[in-house]
Structure 1
Amino acid sequence: MSPLSPDLFPALTEAQADPDGPGAHRPALRFGDRSLTYGELAATASPLAARVAEAGRIAVWATPTLETAVAVVAALLAGVPAVPLNPKSGESELGHIVSDSAPTLVLAAPGTQLPPALGALERVDIDINVDVDVRGTGTASPAVGAPALIVYTSGTTGPPKGAVIPRRAIATTLDALADAWQWTGDDVLVHGLPLFHVHGLILGILGPLRRGGSVRHLGRFETAGVTRELSEGATMLFGVPTMYHRIAETLPDDPALAKALARARLLVSGSAALPVHDHERIAEATGRRVIERYGMTETLMNTSVRADGEPRAGTVGVPLPGVELRLTEEDGTTAVEAYDGETVGEIQVRGPNLFTEYLNRPEATAAAFTEDGWFRTGDMAVRDPDGYVRIVGRKATDLIKSGGYKIGAGEIENALLEHPGVREAAVTGEPDADLGERIVAWIVPADPQSPPTVDELADHVARRLAPHKRPRVVHHLDALPRNDMGKIMKRALTHD
């Protein structure tokens, strides 16, 4: 099927057309002990799609439930843009998102208590009713460039911005991943990710549905759930680094988990860099290597290690089909031509996987793109000789200019995590009269009573990378500040 087809879910369309056909009985969604076949999903989502078809724009209270998946599918069937709302958002953030996106309805699971910020919206409860005959109901056929989702960014540099994601971007990203990961309708995905962002919702729910496969959502991530689902036929696992870290920590004492992971066809990590140390621990215990991919809210997926490629730890693979990727110098226009694994540049991307605009923010949209249409990701990377991309950090927080060198914090963090005395690590830069910036390490020691010294860590990094990349200052912490996705919030790292 063409990636530009407006039909995002051909298996669901087939089930609508023939509720008694074999495709209608294939499993589609499972959350805990609740599940829907494709026929049942059609019976549930189609009436809801008809209910919201004239709504203009809808909000979805995106709890990790069957109802959220049905609501988003219904919105896409109706051709109505959906705004997934993070249930953990504070009142001010929710108020901003509702005011900015101006939905007319909010969809929620029955019995869910919604916060006051949503009080002015008409509420529609999501009714899981599988006894509806949907023959002849049909679905909307919006243009491939029509908005499908409005996903709000994390707002680290101001109020969250609504990235308008067209249907084209969803289709092309999921089809490119199908090519890279050899993803088919026979695959069964297991994950426990939230459903208000790209990773958990678009990849984790819409991805299996586009392939005609199925997804088993854990509701809440736990290693016992991973063991159970992979032991009972699931073929793929999606997670974020904090999840894989928990898996790596659990594996030595849990042979059932190791056996289950060894059965998986594909283990995928994303949303942040997976430390090399955790890569190696999982590979040693299971014989399977986690692969990484790279994407953003605004771009969906840009690169990935391929299922038929080398699963090299510390890289995010090569550009996906249809995605153009380049590295640029600090001026944002001069291309970095080197494929030497050392020369750092900002990643810029172009392709049908990109968002169309920041809602109501034309100036921010214009600033995000170069004059010739490349999106400025703000992520810094190097390219290996074979084209593999390695992310070394964010331009705003992870690019350290020290002694005339441009240094990415990410590779230093990975080196620090290889030290047996380090449990967690983050690296930042701070002003230095001589060097311009000096490298600062923030460490959660494996043994708080005997933390590694600055000299010990500096020597450790210098031996693995280069002397100019060694930390000059070390702070010991009980824990690193992280957001809901497990990403380290470096702006919160301060010292007296």
Structure 2
Amino acid sequence: MPLLAALFEDADRADFVVTPQRRVTRHELLGWAAGLAAEVTGHRIVAVHASAGLPTMVAVTAALLAGVPVVPIPPDAGELERAHILSDSRAELILSDDPSAAGDSAVPVRRISGARPGAVPPEPDPSRPALVLYTSGTTGAPKGVVLSRAALAADLDALAAAWRWTAADTLVHGLPLYHVHGLVLGVLGPLRLGSRLAHTGRPTPEAYADNPGTMYFGVPTVWSRIAAAPERARALSRARLLVSGSAALPVPVFDALAELTGQAPVERYGMTETLITVSARAGGERRAGHVGLPLDGIHTRLVDDVGNPLPDDGVSIGNLQVCGPTLLDGYMRAGGVRPAELIDGWYPTGDVATIGPDGWHRIVGRASTDLIKSGGYRIGAGEVEDVLLLHPAVHEAAVVGTPHMDLGEQVTAFVVADPVAPEELIAFVAQRLAFHKRPRQVYLVPSLPRNAMGKIQKKQLMSG
């Protein structure tokens, strides 16, 4: 079965993909992507300037049809972030209609269309890499997570079973197209399963309410804003599934959505390295503060800090590990792939959780204090610290996540520096990294708390 199986069905489907700028049928999308695939066939790896729109969907589809791994680049990536991704991945082309973002290696997306679907290369081996998604870790620059075609197919099929996701559905979302939620689930899902896709450009309450659908995807910040707009929220009562992910959904937002729409949202859990591994079911219970049961083919376990198994008693909090067919191949390193460090085949997620006797999972949080979840984004504190330290006035920097009513957490920086305005440091980071990674608060302090080994004590900053 081809990874993007729905594209090859004989029956065309009008308005298969709809965006604010354009709508295309199934066969139009395939012809457009097939034409672009001819331009990238034979290359080792290509990048895509992943703006939120149809050209990004076509570019990613084209690369997958050609069997060429694709690296999505956030459209708001700063110059250092973009340079790191391109250098580390060794991408040979950038598919983009924005010359300022792509440079001399750009291959335009819009002008190539109308190729015969029969010109599509044969389906590649499922074990071949499909995507390289750069994600922020707890230290240093973003890491490129290498995901195979087989992993993507396994995850989408498992989600189809869990969510009863079929070609009869219409999926609506406005999420970014460079991570698992918006790209893998939100675009490749419809291209594999055949459901209609309406991408709203931005995930606003108005856009969601104005686009009829059976399934809606959002991160907690999106759902919080929808819950705060009751009339918009009530318009979603026509849907059969409201899916929340990328961070924990606050219980008051869960309850408000259930009251306003007549159904509780479905929460799910995953990460770039594992794709989606745990979810509530479309036809089953939905519990506030819980992310559900492992998907078909996925296994989970809890271990203590030295690796001893912990019981599934709903009380014991342990380090969550997962195994199954959706795991990453490894991490991109200077154009090559370094295998992931598994523990007897289990991937250590870095999250701590509880598992009940009935198998229901509750994610407690990160084992580390250095991964910030803000507005559905996962932001590595180390990456922001590295950029702050490039400023000539800054001597030391520590970045943490602090509570924020709308975003869940906000990026907050504590800086030891020569006289400098906090606003200048915020702008300095915003110019070099994606805009959402900028600190929203910068505190100038005389020193940072450290232990006897010289390590910064971030918990003191977060509590102080």
Q: Is the CA contact (8 Å cut-off) linking 1:44 and 1:70 kept in structure 2?
A: yes
Distance in 1, Cα, partners of 2:439 & 2:5: 35
Report the alpha carbon displacement of residue 288 of structure 1 after superposing the two structures with TM: 1.3
For residue 150 of structure 2, what is the aligned residue in structure 1?
A: 168
The change in CA–CA distance for 1:201 and 1:445 in structure 2 (over 3 A counts) is closer
The change in CA–CA distance for 1:55 and 1:380 in structure 2 (over 3 A counts) is same
Secondary structure of 1:194's aligned partner: coil
One of 320, 327, 338 as aligned partner of 1:347: 320
**5+ residue gaps, structure 2:** 374-399, 407-433, 442-456
One of 71, 95, 100 as aligned partner of 1:114: 100
Q: Is the CA contact (8 Å cut-off) linking 1:379 and 1:394 kept in structure 2?
A: yes
Matches within 5 A, 1:158-197: 158-197=140-179
Of stretches 155-164 and 345-354 in structure 1, the one that deviates more from structure 2 is 155-164
Q: Is the CA contact (8 Å cut-off) linking 1:27 and 1:213 kept in structure 2?
A: no
1:387 aligns with 2:359: yes
For residue 47 of structure 2, what is the aligned residue in structure 1?
A: 59
Report the alpha carbon displacement of residue 191 of structure 1 after superposing the two structures with TM: 0.4
Q: Is the CA contact (8 Å cut-off) linking 2:66 and 2:120 kept in structure 1?
A: no
One of 33, 42, 46 as aligned partner of 1:45: 33
Distance in 2, Cα, partners of 1:236 & 1:487: 33
1:250 aligns with 2:229: yes
Structure-2-length-normalised TM-score: 0.79
Secondary structure of 2:123's aligned partner: coil
Q: Is the CA contact (8 Å cut-off) linking 1:43 and 1:129 kept in structure 2?
A: no
Distance in 1, Cα, partners of 2:405 & 2:13: 52
Report the alpha carbon displacement of residue 158 of structure 1 after superposing the two structures with TM: 1.3
The change in CA–CA distance for 1:484 and 1:235 in structure 2 (over 3 A counts) is farther
The change in CA–CA distance for 1:445 and 1:140 in structure 2 (over 3 A counts) is closer
For residue 417 of structure 1, what is the aligned residue in structure 2?
A: none
Secondary structure of 2:131's aligned partner: strand
Structure-1-length-normalised TM-score: 0.74
1:24 aligns with 2:24: no
Deviations 1:335-379 (A, max 9, x none): 11x222211011111111011010128999567311x11111001
The change in CA–CA distance for 1:486 and 1:353 in structure 2 (over 3 A counts) is farther
Report the alpha carbon displacement of residue 56 of structure 1 after superposing the two structures with TM: 1.3
For residue 65 of structure 2, what is the aligned residue in structure 1?
A: 77
For residue 106 of structure 2, what is the aligned residue in structure 1?
A: 123
Q: Is the CA contact (8 Å cut-off) linking 1:261 and 1:288 kept in structure 2?
A: no
For residue 253 of structure 2, what is the aligned residue in structure 1?
A: 278
Secondary structure of 1:48's aligned partner: helix
Q: Is the CA contact (8 Å cut-off) linking 1:291 and 1:313 kept in structure 2?
A: no
Secondary structure of 1:339's aligned partner: coil
Distance in 1, Cα, partners of 2:44 & 2:337: 24
Q: Is the CA contact (8 Å cut-off) linking 1:304 and 1:316 kept in structure 2?
A: yes
Distance in 2, Cα, partners of 1:188 & 1:367: 36
* RMSD of aligned residue pairs (Cα, Å): 3.1
The change in CA–CA distance for 1:191 and 1:135 in structure 2 (over 3 A counts) is closer
1:104 aligns with 2:86: no
Q: Based on CA coordinates, which of the two structures has the bigger radius of gyration? A: 1
The change in CA–CA distance for 1:82 and 1:487 in structure 2 (over 3 A counts) is farther
Counterpart amino acid of residue 364 in structure 2: V
Q: Is the CA contact (8 Å cut-off) linking 2:331 and 2:340 kept in structure 1?
A: no
For residue 334 of structure 1, what is the aligned residue in structure 2?
A: 308
Secondary structure of 1:41's aligned partner: helix
For residue 311 of structure 1, what is the aligned residue in structure 2?
A: 286
For residue 348 of structure 2, what is the aligned residue in structure 1?
A: 376
Report the alpha carbon displacement of residue 113 of structure 1 after superposing the two structures with TM: 4.2
Report the alpha carbon displacement of residue 122 of structure 1 after superposing the two structures with TM: 1.3
Matches within 5 A, 1:151-230: 151-230=133-212
For residue 461 of structure 1, what is the aligned residue in structure 2?
A: none
- Aligned-residue sequence identity (percent) comes to 46
Paired residue total: 396
Q: Which runs of 4+ in 1 moved over 3 A?
A: 361-368, 440-446, 482-496
Q: Is the CA contact (8 Å cut-off) linking 2:144 and 2:331 kept in structure 1?
A: yes
Report the alpha carbon displacement of residue 441 of structure 1 after superposing the two structures with TM: 11
Report the alpha carbon displacement of residue 208 of structure 1 after superposing the two structures with TM: 1.0
For residue 241 of structure 1, what is the aligned residue in structure 2?
A: 220
Matches within 5 A, 1:390-469: 390-397=362-369
